[in-house]
Amino acid sequence: MRFLDEVKSAVTPRAALLVVGAVALQLLFIASYVGALHHPKPKDIPFGVVAPPQALGQTIDQLGALAGMPLAPRAVKDPAEARQKILNRELDGVLVVDPAASADTLLVASGGGTVLSATLTRLTTEVETAQGRTVRTEDVAPASPQDFNGLTSFYLVVGWCVGGYLCASILAISAGARPANPQRAVIRLGAMALASVAGGIGGAVIVGPILGALPGSVLALWGLGALITFAVGATTLALQGLIGIVGIGLAILIVVIAGNPSAGGAFPLPMLPPFWHAIGPALPPGAGTWSARSIAYFHGNALTTSLLTLSAWALGGTALTLLTSHRNDPEPHPEQPLPA
């Protein structure tokens, strides 16, 4: 057999298309991660200012006029309200101005991302130094000393997402990528739910009691982990049921290539480029990272939107999995008349 004939025999058109798809995912991975993370620039960070009326407007104008507009400053009534708004995750930082002294106070929350709190410290220090003043930083919701750069929440969520699409992929292809009929779809979703519960408690216990890397309720993190894992798994099953094995690649595109760099893990959302800033909260890694940090450092505040997002992925994936399974339900054969 000639070499060209051997190539044609060994590499089927379907295999060639799958390889081309894998290379495309590879290049998209590089473009997405490097595009999102190669040059972080803060933009419109929600920021508060507490100051007497005679200094309030001037301070807001100065902060809002910084090159590149990294801050979106707004007035806050008093320090108590400022702390509450930070704990509610409405603001990422607040500058408390004291005209009677030469030093002001910057309130931050490193639990929401140490890179972001460090950036706020740098920006306000530059403004204060230019006015001959100093700034003292107070961490309202500090990250755990065992949570380096505040990344534990992100890595925990990435682990849950990986478990979700890996378990779903195994369930989908273990029988030779056989399409799921309604009964098989229910079985796969049930198995995915059990795996999600196990993965959720496992992750919560590892980062909490075992490693001490993340504070917060183990029970709450367990529930979050189960929801994230099932949301990603159900979505993967749905896409595989809809377009076959290519659906698994599409799930990786959504969760890994688009979702991870836009999740606000390495760099919080206000430091990401517009595209990744926009899609991050709508994808499972972003909604999961926000939720995990809220549980760990912000007393469970500001969870509603992210939990609704994850629930939508879970319910949508379940519904689509069941819907597509009916295409594969064999037609019932009419009963044959008995011979006379």
How large is the angle between the packed helices 304-325 and 284-297, nearest 10 degrees? 140
Instruction: Specify the 3-state DSSP secondary structure of 166.
Output: helix
Secondary structure of 223-264 as H, E, C letters: HHHHHHHHHHHHHHHHHHHHHCCHHHHHHHHHHHHHHCCCCC
- Residue range 84-109, pLDDT digits in tens: 999 999 999 999 999 888 899 999 99
- What count of other Cβ atoms lies within 10 Å of the Cβ of residue 194? 12
- Residue range 134-144, pLDDT digits in tens: 999 999 999 99
Rounded Cα distance between 327 and 277, Å, is 37
pLDDT at 257: 96
Rounded Cα distance between 153 and 141, Å, is 15
- Residue range 106-148, pLDDT digits in tens: 999 999 999 999 999 999 999 999 889 999 999 999 999 999 8
Task: Give the Å distances, CA to CA, from 115 to 6, 112, 229, 313.
Answer: 55, 9, 27, 29
Task: Give the Å distances, CA to CA, from 191 to 118, 169, 185.
Answer: 44, 12, 10
Name the phi and psi angles at 105, rounded to 5: -120, 130
Closest Cα to residue 53, out of 97, 106, 107? Answer: 97
pLDDT at 330: 55
pLDDT at 149: 86
- Residue range 290-319, pLDDT digits in tens: 999 999 999 999 999 999 999 999 999 999
CB-CB contact of 91 with 47 (8 Å): yes
- What count of other Cβ atoms lies within 10 Å of the Cβ of residue 123? 20
Instruction: For the chain, list residues with pLDDT below 70.
Output: 1, 175-180, 328-340
- What count of other Cβ atoms lies within 10 Å of the Cβ of residue 53? 7
